[in-house]
Structure 1
Amino acid sequence: MTTQTENNNWKISWQLLSLILAVSFGGIGFLATTVLLRLPSNPSCNSISLLFSSATNRIYCAQLSAEKNDVDSLLKAISLLEELSPNHPLRNEINRHIKEWSNEILVLAEKELNQGKLEEAIAIARKIPSTVENFSIVQETITQWREIWDKAEAIQEEVESELKNSQWNKAFLVAVKLLNIENDYWQTTKYQETVKTINLAREESKQLDGAYVTLRSGDLDSLLKTIEIASTIPPSSYSYNEASKLIEEAENKITDIVVGFVDNKNWNGLGDLASRIPDQSKLKNQARDWTIIASAGRNANLGTVSGMELAVAEAEQIPSDSKLYSKARELSQGWIAQKEDLVHLANARDLARSGTIGDLNAAIAKAELVTNDNPLYREARQEIRQWKRDIQIQEDKPILAKAQELALGNNVQSWQNAINQASQIQSDRALYSEASDSIREWRRNIERVEDQPILDQAISLGNGNNYQQAINVASRIGRGRALYTESQNQIRRWRREINAEEDLQRAYQNAQNNDPQSLSTAISIARRIPSTTTIENQSRQAINRWSEQLLITARRVASDYSLTSIEQAIKIAEMIPSGTPAYNQAREEIRRWNNDLNPSLNYEVRSTNYE
């Protein structure tokens, strides 16, 4: 019993001892941890003190530095803890602080990034020591920033490209992509700047709308207005290239107008154009040359030797580097030639003034000295043609006068002699047309005298109703002769008479059958006979007579009072044409017979009339 009690006491003592030891060691560990982690109440964080300070003091000083939350302070905090041994018992806690402060540095760097300062942000991030546990994240972040920036700058370059090409809508569509960039700077500040730039470029472009309208007009005033409007766009504008193109196109069109003025020798127009070129235009230097050429052209147009000499002198003022140099040389050579030919042409005109054949031939010889490559050549040829015409008139006028004198005999022989005389004037002579007209008149006089008896004979036969004989006689007058048209008119009239007689005979033949269908056919044939023929009255009488026969036949058929008979009578009566005496009677009979066929309808009609 005593032994058992001792054993129990021993067990209790051992359990109590274990509990006391556990509490003691736990308390010591807790106290040690508390001491290590508890920051000193008044530590020293100067550089000298830190050389000999404990880890807890360094952590405390690092936290104090990190609380300033600027890059240098955070880096200093990291540096303080980085000096501790990698195997330090508090390494996990140290690494946690370093990682936290590294992330805070990245946050500060990203603030710079969101203000558009890529390089500053990268510089801050790179200050984080490469020994920190999360340094790979730092590198990845920098790479990500560069990718964001490259993507945003590519969008910006694309916007710039569209703006330079004046594609405002496309530029805006591209700019919208900036909203997808994961960066506040590009999504807000840069996007707003870009949209503002696009809108400004668009507004400046709208200023050019009026320039486009005037450019399309194409006249000089409109082209000068185009240059004036487009010149207001400054070189810094995205519309500057567009404005420059408009100015260039307008200036090219003005140059084309100048070429037209020079080619057409419109010197007044050229001079006016040159005086209106704006001082700032690239065409101003060329305009000076245009003024010189215009003045030279006006002097040349005076048509005098002195005028040509002055024109040549002015043309030689055009410098060799001018676009008009070749044209000026060409004009100058032409004016020199014109000056020489002016003398020839003036001498020729002096000779031609007397009007004699000898002087006219001499004038022609002088004018032929003007060469065909000279601007005066056409004028010289016109003078030569006129002088040759004057010579021909003087030579041929006696011949025509003699012919006209011969024709005064007013007989076939006189006219024939006149024709023979006038035929001496050839087709290339000045009086040929007048001679030909006279010859035609005399020839028609002869033809009338020759053909009038033939036509008279034919008319006489036609008046005797011998139409075919009349046609045969009149047909002897050939085509192209004076009385041909008149004879053909008579022949057509006689043929109508023949056709009318044939139609009337055919109508009579049909009517002989004396049945309704034959009578109707006869009437149709007779109605085709023209009212201008001599048998028109005879055909009308026959139509009236046959219409009366149809009415009699219809009444006879209807007298049977059968349904079929009445219907047949109506059909016969309907064959009677309007305009005949029997027509109105036939219509009245048709109404009466229809009433007989429809008595109920007749009753209703009568009742209605009675009411």
Structure 2
Amino acid sequence: MASSSSANSKPSSRVYQPRLHWWRALKEWLWPILWVALLAGSGILGTWALVWLTRIPPVPNCEEMSRLSSSNDRIYCARTQSRSGSPQDLTAAILLTANWPKIHSDYEEAQKVLTEASQKLMFLASRRVQAGDLEGGVELASSIPQNTPLRKPAQAAIYEWRQEWSSGETLETTLATAIERRNWDTANETLQNLKLLKSDFWLRDRFQYWQRQLQREQRSWTSLIAARELAGKGKPEDYLEAITVARQVDLGSRVWAETEKDINRWGEILLAYAMVQWKSGNLEEAVTAAQKVPPNPNHGPEAQTLVRFAHAQQLASSALIQKAASTPTYAELFALREAIRAVEQIPADSPLYQQAQTFRQDWQAQLADASRLQLAQMVARLGQGQAYQLAIAQARAIEPDRPRRIQAQTLIAQWQKELERIADRPILARSDQLARPGTIAALEQAIAEASQIELGRALRADAQARIADWQREIQFIEDRPLIDEAVALAEKNQLREAIEAAQKVQPERALYARAQSLIADWTRTIEIKEDQPILDEAKDLAYEGNLSAAIALASQIGPGRALYSEARRAVALWEDERNYIWSIWESDGAADSDEPTSDSEFE
């Protein structure tokens, strides 16, 4: 039985052994797993806390800000709006920071923002006033609330601006009245009083405006007075000149209304004179007088015809004056068209009709030729060879008997020159390319290429200038070794040989002037070397008292030598000393001869 029981228990122990092993393994890993879980949880919690602490708080919506918002948000929005600098934002910043209780923890910060925004707003208000917008500046300054630091300064500024504005407007009224009455002294005095105001608007803008007005009125009045003085002489030519002077009056001046009346009155006088001259057969004098008469629909038919004819001739004359220019202008064409249109309105029964038709035919020919030349000029402006050829063909269509023939020939000559430039420019480009290496052979080829441009061509002068430069370069290359050889000899102190080498450079060569300069320097050096001992010896003799011998020795240095001037100065000095000594001897009666026996100089 016992054996049987033990046999039955062995399988049971084998069944529970794996469970026991698993439980023991779990107990061994439980604490490490628990610690890892705790560490991971702590890390996650710490990371979340760090992110929460360092995250940027949401930016407050300043557009929806009110007094119920937090103080930090209001200060933030006020500071942001103050930085923008716009009047609306500055006003909003002031409203957000105004009237905070002093016990508030952010009171000082709010005051700083309030003061800064108020100062900026006052600056903008002042700028508006300086620019002439008084009401705009007052509106900005008035937006500063009560019980704020800059409220009183703002109100004081508003009062000052209004006072100054009132003073300025009063001065302007006085100034306008003085100008209207031509009381120039009062006007100038009042104008200077504008400088006493402080605002740039009055000091600069309005002062300059009224200064221009005053100057314009004075000039206009002076012109009118001069015109009236001329008209007062009563002669037709004086009326003509008076109208010319009166038309210098500015149309925007107060004097123009009077001036226009005078011009019309003088024009009527001239018209009457012109009609008398016309009926007397003096048409030229009549036209000259009628040209100054302003058009007036109230004139009679004959007077209107004469004035129209005179104005047509005046327009055509201005076009003919412009014809001196090489190119027809739009103003010239317009003047001719207006002149033709004016004479076409002259009725057939007018005594001026036949003469007007003669002028009309000439002006139509002028207009046709000018239009053709203008078209040719427009084509020529394309700047291409075919365009110039087409323009020349257009201009050549104007025959020799046409009025614009000379003008056409002038333009043709200009366009032919342009064609020559187009044709010869590649030759100059090739010659420049050939000359680029800078060798004698290359330069000679370039000269030969540029010489193909014949005399009289448009680019002949440019070609000759290049040829002259390249010839000089060749001469430089050819003569440079001679100069270098001469300089090398001079550096070895072989000056005479250096001079002989430099003299090989012929006149009219590029380096001839350089060679002559070197020769002159070396010649001077040689002469100084030869004559300096003579001059030094003469000076020694003079120091020893042998003045006559010193003079004789120094006189051996001939004119043109390097030391000649120095030698002559020394001789003159020694002669003065010798003459002085002789004068002393003569005064003492000690000289029986020309020289003393005790002085070897006079032996």
TM-score higher than 0.5:
no
Measured against the shorter chain, the TM-score band is 0.3 to 0.5
Larger radius of gyration: 1
Q: Please report the TM-score for the alignment, with normalisation by the length of structure 2.
A: 0.40
